[in-house]
Amino acid sequence: MQTYIASRAALDDACQLIDRFGDNAAFEAAVRAEGARDRGNVLRFCHWRQIERVIVTLASAEPDGTVH
């Protein structure tokens, strides 16, 4: 699965979570997404779900998609 990174801010958020939480970074992004959903903040929910997918992509050792 290829992951689209919407903005530099999204990549920065993913990198900050990786630096702070290490292997638990994707879990932390999921927790933040659930918190946003519980508060009814759809935009932040979508943001943190995307960050979760970016973290999983960055953590993968295997290439994804076309390798040039």
Kindly report, residue by residue over 12-41, the tens digit of the pLDDT: 999 999 999 999 999 999 999 999 999 999
pLDDT score for 38: 98
Side chain identity at residue 34, one-letter code: E
Sequence-distant (6+) residues with CB within 8 A of 54 are 3, 5, 10, 11, 14
- Residue 57: band (very low, low, confident or very high) from pLDDT cuts 50, 70, 90: confident
Q: What is the pTM of this model?
A: 0.82
pLDDT score for 63: 67
Look-up: residue for tokens 């508060």?
Answer: 39
pLDDT > 70? residue 64: no
Dist. CA 45–CA 51, nearest whole Å = 10
